[in-house]
A and B are shown apart, each in its own frame.
Chain A
Amino acid sequence: MPVSVANSQLVYDAVKGVGVRMVSALPETWLVHLIRMADEDPDMTLVRLAKEEEGVGVSAGAHFAGVKSAMLMQNHGFLQSINGIVGVSLLYKVPLLMLITDRGGFGEKDPWQTEGGKHTRPVLDALQISREDLTRPDEVEPKVAKAMTLAQSSLSPVALLLSRDLMWEEPR
Chain B
Amino acid sequence: MGGASLKRIDCLKAIYPALEECAVVSIMGAAAAELYSLGHRANFFYLEHAMGLASSIGLGIALSQPSRKVVVIDGDGSVLMNLGGLTTLARSRPPNLVHLIFDNETLLSVGGGAPGGYRWFTTATSTGTDLAAIAEAAGFPHAQTVRALDDFEAAVLDAFNGNELSCIVAKVEAEMPKSFLMDIHMLENRFEFPRALQQPPRDRSQLRRPTRITKEEPTTIPALKSREE
Q: Which residues of A contact B (CB under 8 A)?
A: 22, 45, 47-51, 53-67, 69, 83-84, 87-88, 91-94
Contacts and interface: CB of A to CB of B under 8 A. Distances in A.
Contacts, number: 118
A57 B198 contact: no
Given A58-B57, A64-B57, A84 B50 contact: yes
A65 B197 contact: yes
Nearest to A53: B53
A52 to B, nearest CB: 10
Nearest to A24: B60
Chain B binding site: helix, strand, loop or mixed by DSSP? helix
B88 A64 contact: no
Interface residues of B, number: 36
Interface in B39-90: 45, 47-50, 52-65, 68, 82, 84-85, 87-88
Contact of B50 (A45, A50, A57, A66): A57
A54 B84 contact: yes
A50 B87 contact: yes
20 contacts: A47-B63, A50-B85, A51-B84, A53-B56, A57-B60, A58-B56, A58-B60, A58-B63, A60-B60, A62-B64, A64-B193, A65-B65, A65-B198, A67-B64, A83-B50, A88-B57, A91-B186, A93-B187, A93-B190, A94-B190
Nearest to B53: A57
B92 interface: yes
A3 B117 CA distance: 57
